[in-house]
Structure 1
């Protein structure tokens, strides 16, 4: 090698014409496969020879070639190509499509948006960011669940879950937890399997919403599809990424309750109203047994603590144009806001390896994600009891540190913490994608995936959680264990063909799916331990009973096809068809056909817009199609039996019929329609998309009521009921300012959904009559109509709808409360000034919810604390008050009225809110003048500020469980 040809490192920076760094620019040595990719600062470094020519290329920018010569640094300015500004691609599952050419509704959330939030679960990072997607967090306890709905609720009973695909592998989002074990700490025993997936390992999340986008998934895509793609390796210099962060966590909002003076005044007035001349011996709070001046803020004491999260992450990636890799892992530990040392731990590891042959005919990608978490938390959530305890209740501990039972006058809430819940969850997702170009324009591809998830959870209830005066021993202790595991595999061979026909391009996809899922569950109860040391050792128990033992197998197969024709890059036609087969239906009903058609017109490319100074992009698109739903559970078409341990004949256990067969019931069908306009103005500085959708689901799978003489309450069958979801979605993105050192982007999205039951044959005479109403949403509640407080009697009054003079549930619960959001959306901003980045997002929701009285089943005046609003109460004739007369329970009319009040519109209120959902401020410091290394410091927050009229704590989560929490995080990231 001559001196002039020796290897040397060259580096530089790539920016646009305004000096903004460009990330992801490919820097390739011309004529070779050797190259690099620019980092977030636009920097690159590559080894070259003097006679090398560097080729700089990036989607949306003109390619540039520069000879190296003897230079050591080359800084490049790339010019935008207006015609190619929309070359970003999105993942549609079985294929990728250019953003500008998609005919379906696909929304994308990037790794940057996800990474700017200090969250444990990916779904929390998506909240408020996507039109048509409603996400609610069930609890603020770590390891809990989420509810996600894409464009509303389609099914009357069950089967409203979306399909999740992680790196090509279907992922069952159904909880592995058991309500018997975790239902008192995690609502419904809901443990979201995505808890074991580190959000920072995600490259992007695409959400498929309409028929055109989801039809290729057939029945599995009836409720939308969530595609999660994890990070892969990129060609270039090996990069090491290390990150550490610490987070402080606290409850967002708590309702205002009575203090001791207000509470005792309420109690004394109640006894006076009820005609007591002296306080009963059991009225410890008011008769002098308890300290009349003591005040404890029980919400602050029991759920008002500060929790901490410590997280460390590391990854390494790199490779060349043929072989690329990415591997890493993370660990976090998070405590709880409850007293005592409870914690949640998660460990994840991930890897990705991809390779393509020198001629690019063969490609292979392997990804694997393994996560495990361990949760050690109280067996019962303390939120409800913290709101109900009298403010002058005794202290928690005696002077010697033992629990204070105050001479058996109260149930010490700390005793509940003797009951402890533990779980251990493991989750593996592995996927291999192989492809080979058989001929020019013809490619074979195979997707092979495997997923295994399992959980072991135990709740231990020792006798020490009860008052020692009861004289209990470990014989009274009991534990419940649940073991649940499921594994599934999928194999999808696929052919892709690409042809140019005349002035158009034809893409054809033909493939098939073979999937199997097996599940095993065993739940046990054990009691009668000789010592509580063995309370989780079930073999040490004198009594054991099987609560549930279940084994199921689900098989699914399909063939699918897609034909896409792009004429003159202006007129796009997309036709999708799929034939599905599911083992959940009986013979002759297992297969069904689904399909969709999507069209798009890129009108900005018409001659009359070609020279437009203001329109840089414009598209009209529409879709129409049908999907199905088989989310009904396994073996529902068969006669099934349950082992009954109470039926024993000569040592043989008996069987009890549990489900009546119906081999005729079949698929639900969902017909989807959408039309949308997309446009980009003034060189795409302003972009917007507005869409209207209308989805109708019929052939509903419900339980049809049966006469009692059959021995069954219902039978699973199809009913020609129709549920409609319709609505408008609007997204706006604007580049407000773009200067050399400063850039400001804003976005806004809005969803206005409408859900209604269109038809339900025989509804009035069915058991569903008290639950649904034609023309109204599925999420309604039928309630009494509160007229107010009678000024003479001081008791709540209700509307007598049928005028018979009697208030009855069957006749007078006619008021319909709709808790479906009226609209929701967000406003977000991203500002970049030199090395500073500021991102924040405001989420807003317009809806109704339960007010502060919903959780207080005890009428005001009884031995239970109350919301501050009960002070506006009736005291004497003529009073106009919000709350009825106080009573200790002796006033039967007031008791009955308050019971009706808690099932009336009196508990419904405006639960709308505007929330500073996320905020991220970061500073980046380059570690080298030539290399891509940098140090980033960041401050992040979640649920920082909530503006609302809602008085019942947090407006997002409307249950008596711990509300979502506020997080403030400080972290450091080093990239080398």
Structure 2
């Protein structure tokens, strides 16, 4: 024992001696760090070269460090400055160091359309998203990756359906005629027509079918995204740019040794929350409580059910939410090859993406490949090509509406099973002969209805660059986008053989074939030259483009033996064939000049002339000018003394762009609807009334921006304020009924005219901070803030408005857009509480029908009734808005606004040695939601329908303080669209958390791997919100702005857990 202690003591003594020896061989060094202006650099990293020993400078730029006695070299690094190596001699004890600006930050290239310029010369409102910003995001399309990343861009998922469309709004709502931005992929605009099958024929407004325009593009192939937000930047795209421009550049090969990359992730998805519906015990008690209410009221008769007599002994029954929601799976695999010699570079990739949704029956699958080649033929000639091939297959589960999967699942009785004992689909009508609401089984709807959207696509370009006279480059480019659509919707006739009850009816097949072809020829000449303090970049060009979309839709119902064939219809069954051609062409001339002087003053001016086939000869051409200026204040001599601001630039811009998103078929009576089964024989009628004087929509934007870098480049701030005015909006005219013209699908459509003006004003703020930047640890943050205010300023007819309806036949008004208000405002009655006393009933305002006659419902109640109005204790009291003593359509008013007060995103990224952690939060404040599902699940009007648990607090004789209306079977006054259905849609979401680890290179070199990163990610981890529905992020039904934030069984966004790896060889 003593021997062991003695040995340890000797070892400790040796260690102390070594430490003392090492310490005695070092000496202190005092230093000071400044920039070229003489300002102290705070927080700079000072390291002894070849070691991990170091320190940071204090608030005055001073530092102290123990260095080897014989001298050494120091490495000094600071964000925004060039890293500097300084030798320290053996006798130096004090040192002063000056760091130079890293000009590369200002030399960062920004894509501006038909070219690119240095960031320092940008005068417009342009935001960029880098490849780094897209890392570790699990998204099917790149548009999803923009959410919360770009100030001024509002992104919402229209549906959690795999592959579904995304609502992207650049600076508010520009038009009632489409608001999605123009996407440009490697110079190719996405213009080929996309039309989706009419799922209304399978049951009302039952499903969203608009697919994301970027669904065919693999996000892993993207190198950068630039968003042109104001017209001074957008005007170079003229009539296509009214809603903003999103320019996507894909990865290209780089000269050098070839690289092989494999990127993969796998994961699963779950629903974020479930609604609190009545289970079987609660439902049985609820049902039993309705028996005396119904039987004593004279409004009907409700039989008791033996199984319900003692609810406490019952189980939970069928949880229809568990039946229709599932754990989804997601996976992505990509293999890429890149490299090249001195003259030829290449990049190619193959990708497989597969996602099954959280609602049964929904799925999305994509196969894609990409090839990019660049070759220097001569020193003056470069040629290249980009081609993207893809096929996507989307299986759609129709969820929206009372006749769809989620809607039916919410109100189906927990007493009904999913399947009967023989394994067949059960129905809610098969229990003791009671109807129990809708006999449709939501599981059967999801599994048996086969609704698919299949798209095959080839997109790309071929180009050649000719350089001459040193400063000139002539580019000739051919773009193409070939798109084949194969859609179908099949519903079989399904009958429960045991009970004979029909589960699905009728059998129906709808098939669509679409062929879209877009091509464009572009020729443009660029001149760029620096002359002392002057820099000039000039562009002039011509573009001719054409798009053709041919569509054929055929349908048939009552199919023999449920055969999935259009030839299998029974005799005399309904069949229809619809064909359409949608041609469009445009010829354009454009030019632009960018100028900068001494890195202080910048100017940009552009103009584009578009001639479109969408308009008649009197309005065929549109002119879209723009101009912007920039003043880099920080480069002025008087700015040298600033301690806080190291860079400041002011930007001012104004410009005009257009919107031509209308078919040339609107000019004339070119569309004919044919009938082969009319009573008086075959014939045809025009489907529209033309307007040859139709003209362009015009959008003029004014923008003022300020870019500031603070505290020696620790923080970067960009603030933009703007005003955007849309005039000559293209709208379908609303004419009197006696004209015989309308706007419904089966009407002879009234003419399309220029009939309105819209205005958006707002502010965008982007903040990026570099909080800590040390050798082994860094922390950077970013915050984006977006606010816009939208107003429909005027319509040509001051009494007209744009209305949005729900239910089959446009039965129920939900939104109304009128002059003086924002787009998509919710319209309904104002809920003024419940009638709780007889005095309130006696003073009740009349409710009248469409003829102005007082509504009276005789239900046999002796007390609690107003004999004139037919209202009872516990009914909803609606506010008499116009004060005329009656409740009618004149009391309909604004009850909510779906537009947010502001949206925001917050990112934090940490790195520690080989680990990285990213946290992303995203939210929206102030938007209202119309929770339309409450008409079915919180209105107590049918004893056989399940309800939310909140109905247990409805008004009854024993619960006169109940928060919800009484049970009311025969009339729908309590179910009117009202302010009771409007909820606060504000939310704060933990959007993405990603933890990654880069394996050490020393380990990877042994197995010939250059890089290997493994990571784990969770998306939509938790949402803080007051909204009672599944998900406060709703977007717009089928991207229609008239249905923003209307929840009628919206497919919720899933929570996603993934693990992945990036490998490079």
Alignment TM-score, normalising by the size of structure 2: 0.79
Query: Is 2:525 aligned against 1:449?
Result: no
CA distance in 2, matches of 1:165, 1:694: 25
Q: 2:517 corresponds to which residue? A: 487
CA distance in 1, matches of 2:512, 2:167: 22
CA distance in 2, matches of 1:562, 1:757: 32
Query: Is 2:466 aligned against 1:436?
Result: yes
* Contact 1:627-1:670 at 8 Å conserved across structures: yes
Name the stretch that deviates more: 98-107 or 870-879.
870-879
CA distance in 1, matches of 2:277, 2:501: 35
Structure 2 counterparts to residues 98-177 of structure 1, below 5 A: 98-155=118-175, 157-172=176-191, 175-177=194-196
Counting matched residue pairs gives 901
Structure 2 residues not aligned, in runs of 5+: 1-43, 50-78, 86-97, 743-748, 805-814, 838-872, 1035-1044
Q: 2:333 corresponds to which residue? A: 312
CA distance in 1, matches of 2:250, 2:318: 45
* Contact 1:181-1:459 at 8 Å conserved across structures: no
The structural deviation recorded for 1:856 is 1.9
* Contact 2:358-2:1054 at 8 Å conserved across structures: no
Query: Is 2:423 aligned against 1:401?
Result: yes
CA distance in 2, matches of 1:490, 1:289: 73
CA distance in 2, matches of 1:332, 1:283: 53
Q: 1:897 corresponds to which residue? A: 973
The structural deviation recorded for 1:424 is 2.1
* Contact 2:764-2:787 at 8 Å conserved across structures: yes
Q: 2:981 corresponds to which residue? A: 907
Say if 1:404 and 1:639 are closer, same or farther in 2 by CA, change over 3 A: closer
* Contact 2:909-2:917 at 8 Å conserved across structures: yes
- 1:69-94, CA deviations, whole angstroms, 9 ceiling, x for partnerless residues? xxxxxxxxx98634442221111121
SS at match of 2:132: helix
The structural deviation recorded for 1:285 is 9.9
Q: 2:691 corresponds to which residue? A: 662
* Contact 1:182-1:379 at 8 Å conserved across structures: no
* Contact 2:939-2:965 at 8 Å conserved across structures: no
SS at match of 1:396: coil
SS at match of 2:144: helix
CA distance in 1, matches of 2:488, 2:227: 35
Q: 1:923 corresponds to which residue? A: 997
Query: Is 2:323 aligned against 1:302?
Result: yes
- 1:671-703, CA deviations, whole angstroms, 9 ceiling, x for partnerless residues? 100001101123321100111010011112112
Q: 1:747 corresponds to which residue? A: 782
- 1:875-923, CA deviations, whole angstroms, 9 ceiling, x for partnerless residues? 2399344211123x14xxxx332132xx111111111110011121111
The structural deviation recorded for 1:403 is 2.6
Say if 1:135 and 1:734 are closer, same or farther in 2 by CA, change over 3 A: same
Q: 1:813 corresponds to which residue? A: 892
Query: Is 2:753 aligned against 1:672?
Result: no
The structural deviation recorded for 1:450 is 0.3
Say if 1:172 and 1:943 are closer, same or farther in 2 by CA, change over 3 A: farther
The structural deviation recorded for 1:195 is 1.4
The structural deviation recorded for 1:294 is 3.8
SS at match of 2:214: helix
Say if 1:85 and 1:500 are closer, same or farther in 2 by CA, change over 3 A: closer
Q: 2:354 corresponds to which residue? A: 333
Say if 1:62 and 1:743 are closer, same or farther in 2 by CA, change over 3 A: closer
CA distance in 2, matches of 1:20, 1:859: 73
Q: 1:48 corresponds to which residue? A: none
The structural deviation recorded for 1:965 is 0.8
CA distance in 2, matches of 1:630, 1:942: 38
Q: 2:615 corresponds to which residue? A: 585
Say if 1:131 and 1:538 are closer, same or farther in 2 by CA, change over 3 A: farther
The structural deviation recorded for 1:541 is 6.8
- 1:209-251, CA deviations, whole angstroms, 9 ceiling, x for partnerless residues? 1011101111100110011111111122211111222111111
Q: 2:412 corresponds to which residue? A: 389
CA distance in 1, matches of 2:581, 2:46: 62
CA distance in 2, matches of 1:445, 1:282: 81
Say if 1:857 and 1:631 are closer, same or farther in 2 by CA, change over 3 A: farther
SS at match of 1:663: coil
SS at match of 1:196: coil
- 1:747-783, CA deviations, whole angstroms, 9 ceiling, x for partnerless residues? 1111111101223343226676982333321121222
Q: 1:849 corresponds to which residue? A: 929
* Contact 1:19-1:741 at 8 Å conserved across structures: no
Q: 1:723 corresponds to which residue? A: 758
Q: 2:821 corresponds to which residue? A: 776
SS at match of 2:741: coil
* Contact 1:922-1:939 at 8 Å conserved across structures: yes
* Contact 1:724-1:758 at 8 Å conserved across structures: yes
Q: 1:55 corresponds to which residue? A: none
* Alignment match of 1:961 (pick from 1014, 1028, 1050): 1050
Q: 1:235 corresponds to which residue? A: 255
* Contact 1:662-1:717 at 8 Å conserved across structures: yes
CA distance in 1, matches of 2:772, 2:783: 16
- 1:902-948, CA deviations, whole angstroms, 9 ceiling, x for partnerless residues? x1111111111100111211111145576771221110121111111
Q: 1:413 corresponds to which residue? A: 442
* Contact 2:766-2:782 at 8 Å conserved across structures: yes
Structure 2 counterparts to residues 312-391 of structure 1, below 5 A: 312-339=333-360, 343-357=363-377, 359=379, 361-378=380-397, 382-391=405-414
CA distance in 2, matches of 1:772, 1:277: 41
Alignment TM-score, normalising by the size of structure 1: 0.86
* Alignment match of 1:191 (pick from 193, 211, 228): 211
Task: Name the Cα RMSD after superposition.
Answer: 3.3
Say if 1:444 and 1:813 are closer, same or farther in 2 by CA, change over 3 A: same
Say if 1:546 and 1:115 are closer, same or farther in 2 by CA, change over 3 A: farther
CA distance in 1, matches of 2:123, 2:738: 54
The structural deviation recorded for 1:589 is 0.9
CA distance in 1, matches of 2:1052, 2:365: 20
CA distance in 1, matches of 2:396, 2:787: 38
Structure 1 residues not aligned, in runs of 5+: 1-15, 22-58, 66-77
SS at match of 1:914: strand
CA distance in 2, matches of 1:878, 1:377: 44
CA distance in 2, matches of 1:649, 1:190: 36
Q: 1:226 corresponds to which residue? A: 246
CA distance in 1, matches of 2:315, 2:288: 16
* Contact 2:318-2:415 at 8 Å conserved across structures: no
* Contact 2:665-2:671 at 8 Å conserved across structures: no
The structural deviation recorded for 1:468 is 6.3
SS at match of 2:322: helix
CA distance in 2, matches of 1:136, 1:547: 35
- 1:719-767, CA deviations, whole angstroms, 9 ceiling, x for partnerless residues? 4532110111111100011111001000111111110122334322667
CA distance in 2, matches of 1:282, 1:145: 47
- 1:598-620, CA deviations, whole angstroms, 9 ceiling, x for partnerless residues? 10001111112246444332100
The structural deviation recorded for 1:870 is 2.5
Query: Is 2:640 aligned against 1:566?
Result: no
- 1:234-274, CA deviations, whole angstroms, 9 ceiling, x for partnerless residues? 12221111122211111122322223333333333333223
Q: 1:799 corresponds to which residue? A: 879
CA distance in 2, matches of 1:130, 1:284: 58
* Contact 1:177-1:190 at 8 Å conserved across structures: yes
Q: 1:523 corresponds to which residue? A: 553
CA distance in 2, matches of 1:19, 1:308: 47
* Alignment match of 2:713 (pick from 666, 684, 701): 684
CA distance in 2, matches of 1:549, 1:261: 54
* Contact 1:159-1:629 at 8 Å conserved across structures: no
Structure 2 counterparts to residues 462-477 of structure 1, below 5 A: 462-464=492-494, 469-470=499-500, 477=507
CA distance in 1, matches of 2:317, 2:354: 30
CA distance in 2, matches of 1:710, 1:874: 48
Query: Is 2:122 aligned against 1:97?
Result: no
SS at match of 1:190: coil
Say if 1:281 and 1:426 are closer, same or farther in 2 by CA, change over 3 A: same
CA distance in 1, matches of 2:565, 2:824: 40
Query: Is 2:272 aligned against 1:252?
Result: yes
CA distance in 1, matches of 2:128, 2:196: 30
The structural deviation recorded for 1:621 is 0.1
CA distance in 2, matches of 1:177, 1:848: 29
Say if 1:647 and 1:572 are closer, same or farther in 2 by CA, change over 3 A: same
CA distance in 1, matches of 2:641, 2:1009: 40
The structural deviation recorded for 1:60 is 7.3
Q: 1:46 corresponds to which residue? A: none
CA distance in 2, matches of 1:853, 1:376: 24
